């Protein structure tokens, strides 16, 4: 009998040596962690084992474990926010669970009941509730992770796996307000391709991204913009989805992002922005998921039709873009609101208000209890 994941069986062992909490201004993304972590072991024979919340500790693994050799690993990125009533809220966490299961399926790791893992994550959040920072832009970054733990060098389906969740108190991605970034368009390296795994949140998609980012940094750009194919389709920026806003000759405007064609990460922030913009923007706007190229961006920038552009992801929510280096030339992106475009600023605020529970919108904000 193979057991399903069951949150009600959780065993909680509390730390006897609580950590000192850092002041908000010393928080570095993903560097310090809370007192506890969540773990659930899986075996092909027995299914999901007893969920355990216990003091944060090292993982002890045989050096032949498949996660070290064949990248049997996937993760999610989520944040928990403290609202004005001191509730702790997560933002559309079911989307992360659904994506995590899709990632697991793609590399032959086990799937799980999504609501059960959310209940366990809520338990972890409540156990470490005192680590969720106060203040605008502050949150508790959550990192659900799944690794294959079979100790064998044979390349095959793992018969053992581990879900674990760790949590790191984090500050706003930009110290005060926005800091628009300069991007370099990358055409010599390719992040993802049709028939590949670029639409899944696998470890495999990340290590190969560092070199192009280092190359961009050498030439003074903070991030790279991934192009695809001879056409130079715009796909993603660094580790975020990307949006461009154009105005047309007739005064109408368009917000555009690459379609989910299998090469694009299915970002929760991306999906949220599309939905919010479809609902909130005036009738002069259309919101499109369509293919578009670097050449189109350049042409419309030259004609004065590029309004603004931004990256979108959990860490920064939205990240305004000021410059794109392409074929030895810098394309300037307008920053009508100072450090970002007007739409970029609005989108960031719409999402922030939902995340911090100031505005209730659909079922997007989940209160941990």
**Six token digits for residue 28:** 């570095």
Name the nearest CA neighbour of 330 among 188, 182, 178: 182
Identified binder of a second copy from the candidate list 8, 60, 176, 282, rule CB under 8 A: 60
**CA angle (147 as vertex; 141, 151 as ends), nearest 5:** 150
Pick the binder of a second copy from 22, 61, 126, 281 (CB under 8 A): 61
Under the criterion CB under 8 A, does residue 221 sit at the interface with a second copy?
no
**71 or 323: CB nearest a second copy:** 71
CA distances (Å), origin 293, targets 229, 296, 299 = 10, 5, 10
Q: State in angstroms the smallest separation of the CB of 192 from a second copy.
A: 8
**In this complex, which beta carbon is closest to a second copy, that of residue 33 or of residue 361?**
33
Phi first, then psi: what are they for 38, rounded to 5°? -105, 135
Pick one of 152, 275, 286, 346: the residue that binds a second copy (CB under 8 A).
152
- When asked if residue 155 is in the footprint of a second copy (CB under 8 A), the reply is yes
If the CB atoms of residues 43 and 157 are measured against a second copy, the closer one turns out to be 157
Q: Give dist(CA 336, CA 307) in Å, integer.
A: 8
Closest CB 279 distance from a second copy, rounded Å: 32
* Binding of residue 175 to a second copy (CB under 8 A): no
Q: Which of 46, 59, 336, 367 binds a second copy (CB under 8 A)?
A: 59
Between CA 191 and CA 215, with CA 202 as vertex, the angle to 5 degrees is 35
Q: For a second copy, which is the closer residue by CB, 195 or 251? A: 195
Which residue of 27, 67, 182, 343 would you call a contact of a second copy, by CB under 8 A? Answer: 67
203 in contact with a second copy (CB under 8 A): yes
Find the binding residues for a second copy in span 111-150 (CB under 8 A): 141, 143, 145, 147-148
- Phi and psi dihedrals of 268, rounded to 5? -70, -40
Tell me the HSE value of 203 on the side-chain side, using a 13 A CA sphere: 15
Instruction: Please tell me the distance from the alpha carbon of residue 367 to that of residue 358, in angstroms, as a whole number.
Output: 13
SS3 for 274? helix
CB of 94 to a second copy, least distance (A): 22
Among 207, 218, 282, 290, binds a second copy (CB under 8 A): 207
Q: Is 75 in the site for a second copy (CB under 8 A)?
A: yes
Which of 3, 46, 108, 367 binds a second copy (CB under 8 A)? It is: 108
Q: Quick one: 60 or 283, whose CB is closer to a second copy?
A: 60
Closer residue to a second copy (CB): 117 or 301: 117
Which residue, 57 or 369, is less far from a second copy as judged by CB?
Answer: 57
> Which residue in the set 20, 23, 84, 154 belongs to the binding site for a second copy (CB under 8 A)?
154
Count CA atoms within 13 Å of residue 93 on its CB side: 25
- Cβ contacts of 269 within 8 Å, gap of 6 or more: 240, 241, 312, 313, 314, 317, 318, 351
CB of 349: closest distance to a second copy in angstroms? Answer: 26
Is residue 214 at the binding interface for a second copy, with CB under 8 A as the rule? Answer: yes
Give yes or no for residue 194 binding a second copy (CB under 8 A).
Answer: yes
Alpha-carbon distances of 211 from 36, 193, 312, rounded to whole Å: 34, 18, 21
Q: How far apart are CA 15 and CA 283, in angstroms?
A: 55
Q: CB-based contacts of 21: which residues, under 8 Å, 6+ apart?
A: 130, 131, 169
Binding mask 37-56 for a second copy (x = CB under 8 A): x------------------x
Q: Provide the 10 A C-beta neighbour count for residue 57.
A: 10
Report the interface residues with a second copy, using CB under 8 A.
28-31, 33, 37, 56-64, 67-73, 75, 106-108, 141, 143, 145, 147-148, 152-157, 164, 166, 168, 188-190, 193-197, 202-211, 214, 239
């Amino acid at each position: 009998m193979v057991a399903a994941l069951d949150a009600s069986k959780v065993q909680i062992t509390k730390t006897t040596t609580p950590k000192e909490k850092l002041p908000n201004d010393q928080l570095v993304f993903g560097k310090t962690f809370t007192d506890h972590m969540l773990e659930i072991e899986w075996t092909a024979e027995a299914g999901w084992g007893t969920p355990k919340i216990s003091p944060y500790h090292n993982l002890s693994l045989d050096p032949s474990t498949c996660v070290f050799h064949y990248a049997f690993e996937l993760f999610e990125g989520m944040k928990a926010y403290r609202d004005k009533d001191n509730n702790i809220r997560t933002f559309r966490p079911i989307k992360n669970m659904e994506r995590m299961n899709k990632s697991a399926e793609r590399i032959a790791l086990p799937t799980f009941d999504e609501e059960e893992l959310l209940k366990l994550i809520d338990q972890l959040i409540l156990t470490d509730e005192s680590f969720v920072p106060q203040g605008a832009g502050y949150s508790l970054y959550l990192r659900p992770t799944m690794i294959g733990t079979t100790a064998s060098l044979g390349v095959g389906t793992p018969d053992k796996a581990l879900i674990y969740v760790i949590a790191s108190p984090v500050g706003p991605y930009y110290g005060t307000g926005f800091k628009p970034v300069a991007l370099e368009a990358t055409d010599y390296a390719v992040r993802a391709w049709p028939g590949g795994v670029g639409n899944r949140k696998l470890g495999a998609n990340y290590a190969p991204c560092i070199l192009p980012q280092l190359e961009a940094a050498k030439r003074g750009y903070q991030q790279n913009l991934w192009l695809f194919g001879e056409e130079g389709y715009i796909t993603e920026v660094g580790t975020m989805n990307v949006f461009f806003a154009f105005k047309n000759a007739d005064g109408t405007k368009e917000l555009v992002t690459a379609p989910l064609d299998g090469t694009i990460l299915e970002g929760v922030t991306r999906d949220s922005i599309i939905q919010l913009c479809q609902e909130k923007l005036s009738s002069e706007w259309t919101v499109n998921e369509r293919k578009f190229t670097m050449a189109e961006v350049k042409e419309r920038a030259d004609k004065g039709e590029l309004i603004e552009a931004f990256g979108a992801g959990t860490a920064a929510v939205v990240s305004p873009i000021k410059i794109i280096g392409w074929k030895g030339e810098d394309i300037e992106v307008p920053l009508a609101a100072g450090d970002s475009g007007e739409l970029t600023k609005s989108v960031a605020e719409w999402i922030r208000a939902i995340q911090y529970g100031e505005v209730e919108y659909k079922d997007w904000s989940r209160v941990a209890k």
